[in-house]
Amino acid sequence: MKDMLIASFDMEVGGVERSLISMLDHFDYTNYKVDLMLYKHQGEFMQLLTDRATLLREIPAYATFRKSIKQVFMDKQIPLGLSRIVSRIHADVRGKLKGTSEPGYYQMQLMWEYALPFLPELEKKYDVAVSYLWPHYFVAEKVEAKTKIAWIHTDYATVDTDVELDMKMWEKFDHIIAVSEACAASFLQKYPELEQRVTVIENITSPHLIRKLADERVESPMMDDQRFKLITVARLSHAKGIDQAVKALRQLKDRDYNFAWYVVGYGGDETMLHQLIAENELEDNFFLLGKKINPYPFIKAADLYVQPSRYEGKAVTVGEAQILGKPVLITNYTTAPSQVQDGFDGCICELSVEGIADGVEMLYNDPDQRQQLAANCIETDYENTGELKKLYAFV
């Protein structure tokens, strides 16, 4: 039996975390002894972790990456707190100089780079170590393993990082896993020299479990709302484009449509989005439902699933909506064609406020197309646990 380490940040509610749970649920524990390293033991999804994988103890230094700078200093992790401050200053300066709309990726990259001298190494040696979420410095620098694997979940062509710094990290990995062909292609636009290391392994889905959870009864005004209902499940962040959704709904209201748009999720943009909803007088039409461990009853209750993202690797929630037989509309982000076959199991609209509004209007006025999209999703087999064989082949 081979020893494997899988490392990630925490188990807060999110698409990457759901995909990790699915992978762990379907893992081959007869041939692999799996240790799970979470930098912080927090999040509603902690209760969903399988007991077949061994959860390693929380290490205080790594837990700081999920804490505020103030809390890091209160915990007397002074060097790590200082590294956070320096990384924020550097990222802010770079962001202003380059006009970067979201400097968070670069800041996180620097945060790890500056913190490395103060982070402990893991004592146990592994046959294989998997870093499930960027940045991958922990597995790259602090874990000893015969084989190292890094997972990529986003469109790297659209995020601002220091390529030279990243390359020093990527070179420590034998294999790099992309969650879709389009995700791999966008990654290789930025790091073409890594082509021989990149393999595509799709997020593991469990259609039976998703359909079962969708039948759970939940208390929500959405369930009694008789209007045409749109649903989005996403973090409240710039990447997910919820602000674009609010503005698109304003346009639709100006066209005399009285739709209700519900969003399941949480994140740093929540205050801004509440203000934007109020500014557009959409308090009776656009609803932020907050964090939900089980988003599937909300997807099931909707008439249309919309993903208004600016960029994605492969949105887990879009696949889950398809499994539930929902018509899907997604924006034309770079990796969109790998997620939806336009006109068959969903529709792709222009990546703009007007594009989203036009896409929703088109599908609302064509119930036959919505019904056909839903039927095609229901008839498609989304079971893909066989993808894990690709991972086993590396070990």
Output the domain CATH number for residue 73.
3.40.50
Give the tens place of pLDDT for each residue, 70-120. 999 999 999 999 999 998 888 777 666 666 556 678 888 999 999 999 999
Asked whether residue 251 falls in the same domain as residue 320, the answer is yes
* pLDDT, tens digit (0-9, with 9 covering 90-100), for 140-152: 999 999 999 999 9
pLDDT of residue 266: 92
Q: Domain check: are 187 and 214 in the same one?
A: no
pLDDT at 92: 78
pLDDT band at 182 (very low <50, low <70, confident <90, very high): confident
Check whether residue 308 and residue 320 sit in a common domain: yes
CATH number of the domain that 354 lies in? 3.40.50.2000
- Tell me the backbone φ, ψ of residue 54, rounded to 5 degrees: -90, 115
What's the mean pLDDT in 344-358? 97
The better pLDDT of the pair 205, 247 is held by: 247
Q: Are residues 189 and 80 in the same domain?
A: yes
Window from 225-234, 281-290, 377-386 with minimum mean pLDDT: 377-386
274-318 residue pLDDT tens: 999 999 999 999 999 999 989 999 999 999 999 999 988 888 899
Between CA 51 and CA 59, with CA 56 as vertex, the angle to 5 degrees is 150
Q: Say what the alpha-carbon torsion angle 379, 19, 134, 159 is, to the nearest 10 degrees.
A: 30
Residue 154 vs residues 51, 118, 151, 186: alpha-carbon distances, Å? 28, 28, 10, 9
Residues 14 and 150 occupy one common structural domain: yes
- Answer yes or no: do 199 and 226 share one domain: no
* Least confident residue range of 20-29, 40-49, 352-361, 377-386: 377-386
Query: Same domain for 197 and 289?
Result: no
Judge if 282 and 185 occupy the same domain.
no
Q: Which amino acid is at 356?
A: I
- 245 in Cβ contact with 232 (< 8 Å): yes
Average pLDDT, the chain: 92
Instruction: Return the H-helix or E-strand segment holding 230.
Output: strand 229-233
Q: So what's the pLDDT on residue 316? A: 87
Residues 226 and 284 in one domain: yes
Q: What is the mean pLDDT of residues 6-20?
A: 91
Q: H/E element holding 127? A: strand 125-131
Give the amino acid at 373: L
Find, among 304, 159, 164, the residue nearest to 232 by Cα.
304
Total domains in the fold of the chain: 2
Over range 245-268, report the average pLDDT.
97
Query: pLDDT digit string (tens) for 210-224?
Result: 998 899 999 888 999
The alpha carbon dihedral of 8, 10, 16, 21 has a sign of positive
One domain, residues 54 and 197: yes
Structural domain of residue 123, as residue ranges? 2-205+386-392
Judgement on whether residues 178 and 248 belong to the same structural domain of the protein = no
Q: What is the pLDDT of residue 338?
A: 85
- C-alpha distances out from residue 45 to 10, 55, 263, 360, Å: 9, 13, 19, 32
Rounded CA-CA distance 318/363 in Å is: 17
Given a contact cutoff of 8 angstroms between Cβ atoms, the answer to whether 261 and 245 are in contact is yes
| Residue 179 sits in the same domain as residue 254 | no
Distance between CA atoms of residues 231 and 220, nearest Å: 13
Query: Exposed, middle or buried: residue 326 (CB in 10 Å: 0-12, 13-18, 19+)?
Result: buried
How many Å apart are CA 70 and CA 1, to the nearest integer? 43
